[in-house]
Amino acid sequence: MTDDVITLENVKIERDGGVTFVILNRPEKRNAMSPQLHLDMCEALDWAADDDQTRVVVITGAGGNFCAGQDLKLFFRANEGNPKAMRKTGNASQAWRWDKLSRFPKATIAMVHGYCFGGGFTPVIACDFAIAADDATFGLSEVNWGIIPGGLVAWAVTQIMGYRDAIYYSVTGDKFSGKEAAAMKFVNKSVPVANLRDEVMVLARKLEAKSPSAVQYTKEAVRSVRGMSQDQAYDYLECKSNALKALDPEKGREKAMKMFLDDKVFKPGLGEFKRD
Ligand code: COA
């Protein structure tokens, strides 16, 4: 662990080698998202994107919970009748939960334990990977207090859930567990809470060992082609492949090809090539 990380009021940063934990840090409020937390998360993600040591970002919450959604007092009530404040906070809220996270240049993992409600769904969906505790509690609770899953939540949910599940959980507000989330592929997998961090670290270490450029370009490619026609995707992927070939500072493709074809010391089918 090193301490060369930024300090923020509502977000804590911890390092484990190239893996950086970005932790929502209002445990006494179950990490409900206040305006300050949104501003802090914007800053934290900008910092982690530029931080050379960070290879993988894990988003999680302090105190055994992921996030109790938007802070009803500080996000909703305090901004009522103040459209300027609402716009500023709303923009920051959208910026980190979707724009920055879904376009993040490094691999991202949501580590979900305890409660995850409402607006807390968006960052889980925006991350590349999500691993939950079996006993985590997810809920689109908006309907329970007379609002809709706004601020992109309903849209984000339909990016990842089947339509029946999206309607069911949005309209009933029924809770579902980490195990159920894994069964419907809302998260990649769920594990007993005692193993959660270890399981996340296994995935994070795997990602950390790969070429950073190959990881970045691959996730960007998969994300972008989802909204394209076949022709567009073919063209885009050709350009993207050429961009990676030209811009990868490690020249991974050339090195790996030589290791496989000439030196015969590496088999791409069985794992990544050893980087310098
Ligand atoms: N907004 C504002 N404050 C919240 C909050 C939220 N979303 N979620 C929790 N808190 C606050 C509580 O008001 C309480 O504050 P207090 O100690 O000053 O009274 C504190 O966090 C602890 O919450 P509490 O309800 O006592 O804890 P709990 O463990 O019994 O229950 C929840 C936790 C998450 C089930 C419950 O707080 C809850 O239902 N929160 C709202 C969840 C929600 O619907 N979010 C969606 C918003 S879009």
Q: Over 50: is that where the pLDDT of 1 sits? A: no
Distance CA 251, CA 27 (A): 44
Distance CA 89, CA 25 (A): 18
Residue ranges per domain, the chain? 11-208, 212-262
134 CB near ligand 1 (under 6 Å): no
Q: What is the pLDDT of residues 204-229, one digit of tens each?
A: 999 999 999 999 999 999 999 999 99
CA distances to 71, 116, 204 from 36, rounded to whole Å, are 11, 19, 28
Cβ of 138 below 6 Å from ligand 1: no
Instruction: Specify the DSSP class assigned to residue 47.
Output: H
Amino acid at 115: Y
- Ligand 1 atom with minimal separation from the 145 CA: 44
Q: How many angstroms does the Cα of residue 30 sit away from the middle of ligand 1?
A: 6
Give the model's pLDDT for residue 26: 98
- Pick the closest to residue 214 from 171, 273, 173, 174 (CA basis): 273
Share of the chain above pLDDT 90, in %: 97
Q: Is the pLDDT of residue 2 over 90?
A: no
Give residue-wise pLDDT tens across range 134-182: 999 999 999 999 999 999 999 999 999 999 999 999 999 999 999 999 9
Helix axes 83-94, 35-50, angle to 10 degrees: 40
Neighbour-count burial of 192, counting CB atoms closer than 10 A to its CB (0-12 exposed, 13-18 middle, 19+ buried): exposed
Please indicate whether residue 90, judged by its CB atom, sits closer than 6 Å to ligand 1: no
Q: Which fold has domain 11-208?
A: 2-enoyl-CoA Hydratase; Chain A, domain 1 (3.90.226)
Q: Which atom of ligand 1 is nearest to the CA of 29?
A: 21
Residue 191 has pLDDT above 90, yes or no: yes
Decide if 42 contacts 100 (C-beta within 8 A).
yes
Mean pLDDT, the chain, whole residue set: 96
Shortest-distance atom of ligand 1 to CA 149 = 48
Mean local confidence (pLDDT), 21-33: 98
3 pLDDT band (50/70/90 cuts)? Answer: low
